Amino acid sequence: MSFEWLTEWLPFTFYYLMALLLFLANFAAWASILFLIPGNWIMVLLSALFYLFMPEESGKGISLTVLVIAILLAGLGELVEALGSSAGAAKKGASRRAMILALLGTFLLSVIGATVATPVFPPVGTVVGAILGGAVGAYLGAYLGEAWKGNLDVDRMEISRAAFVGRLLGVVGKLAIGVVILVMLTIDSLI
């Protein structure tokens, strides 16, 4: 009995198994953006490792050009999130303390929101709970930061609303850029 077919079939299967694992890991990294984890950068790192250990052979593999574009997009995602999360609140006169507490509130309430909403509407509840929880956390953090500082010269509600809206816009923008990175890397690894 000849097993030549097996030696030809194994490298092909192994490559596509690794590409599938890369997609699953990148998808998990993308979802981690909801919890203030730098998912876009994790996707870039995982894809760079794929690039190193699964070099382009017979037209398959991630190209260096696509990897560089992913790096640039990940940087753009960070810029969008940073501008969205803090620009509105800062423009309304938020203190540094309010900004820090808004960030902490975002993290804590996004985790709580995802945990509470997951059993209710899985898996959509996880995403919605994390996004809304993070935005509410930004609102509460900014409000508490201004109250703690005793800042009476600014409208705490206005700063808190700006932090809420900014967080929503920042995370949605970063998620959108993350989807582009995910799709681009997945297509390049499979074709």
Q: Provide DSSP, 20-54.
A: HHHHHHHHHHHHGGGGT--HHHHHHHHHHHHHHHS
Quick check: 167 and 135 in contact, CB under 8 A? yes
Structural tokens at position 176? 């959108």
Evaluate if residue 50 carries a pLDDT over 90. yes
Q: Is the alpha carbon torsion for 102, 107, 108, 113 positive or negative?
A: positive
| pTM as predicted | 0.76
Percentages helix, strand, coil for the chain (3-state, rounded to 5) are 85, 0, 15
**What single DSSP character describes residue 57?**
B
Quick check: 134 and 106 in contact, CB under 8 A? yes
pLDDT, mean over the chain: 86
Q: Is the alpha carbon torsion for 40, 46, 50, 51 positive or negative?
A: positive
Quick check: 108 and 129 in contact, CB under 8 A? no
Evaluate if residue 9 carries a pLDDT over 70. no
Q: How far apart are CA 165 and CA 142, in angstroms?
A: 12
Four-point Cα dihedral 170, 172, 175, 180, nearest 10: -110
Q: How far apart are CA 43 and CA 185, in angstroms?
A: 9
Quick check: 86 and 139 in contact, CB under 8 A? no
Q: How far apart are CA 34 and CA 126, in angstroms?
A: 9
pLDDT tens digits for range 128-173: 888 888 889 989 998 999 888 887 767 888 888 888 988 888 889 9
pLDDT at 20: 94
Structural tokens at position 145? 């930061």
Evaluate if residue 108 carries a pLDDT over 80. yes
